Amino acid sequence: GRAIIYFPVFNYSYEKLSHTYELLQHPRTMLSLGDGGAHCGYICDASLPTFMLTHWTRDRTRGEKLPLELIVKRQTSATAAIYGLQDRGLIKPGYIADFNLIDYDNLSLTPPHFISDLPAGGRRIVQEASGYLATIKSGHTIFENGQATGAMPGKLIRGPQRV
């Protein structure tokens, strides 16, 4: 089949996210981090940043929503600060110009599905998002309307980065 069984182990106790709401407001909670595909055949955490924006700030109906500006700050400057990336996370002179241009009202996730595009036919779970109008990396547009532009201005960074 093509369907995926959703088996939540954590964060959905009693079929609600009330305890997660409290946790997400704590200043030491890091939001929307992923494992970079280490478990690509078992989980797909690439959707977490989009889910944070859609569910917690816009679509939540059972309980209070979180302020959009809080989630954006926690996913950008707060994350950069905790990892010592002092030249990113803000739109400010001298900083790396990385950001997403988002159509917030139309931001959404597709259902997860499997694709087999890894070496030796290995499979992974993917989940696409729509509503991202552009992704800018170091001042260069690398995605526009969900399509890669071919620009690849990124580089590997190791350890804290200074402004």
DSSP characters over 57-126:
III--SSPPPPHHHHHHHHTHHHHHHTTBTT-SS--TTS---EEEE-GGG-EEPPPEEE--SGGG--EEE
Q: Report whether pLDDT(8) > 80.
A: no
User: Which residue has better confidence, 36 or 96?
Assistant: 96
- Note the pLDDT of residue 107: 98
The 10s digit of each residue's pLDDT in 42-76 is 777 888 899 999 999 999 999 999 999 999 999 99
- Note the pLDDT of residue 37: 66
Q: Taking residues 146-156, report their average pLDDT.
A: 93
31-45, 54-68, 126-140: which range is least confident on average?
31-45
Closest CA to 158 of 83, 93, 95, 64: 83
What residue has token string 């797909």? 44
Q: Report whether pLDDT(135) > 80.
A: yes
Helices (H) and strands (E) in the chain, counts: 4, 8
User: Which residue has better confidence, 111 or 151?
Assistant: 151
Q: Where along the chain do its domains lie?
A: 13-148
CA-to-CA distance for 150 and 163, rounded, in angstroms?
Answer: 27
Q: Report whether pLDDT(120) > 70.
A: yes
The 10s digit of each residue's pLDDT in 83-114 is 888 888 999 998 988 899 999 999 999 988 88
Structure pTM? 0.86
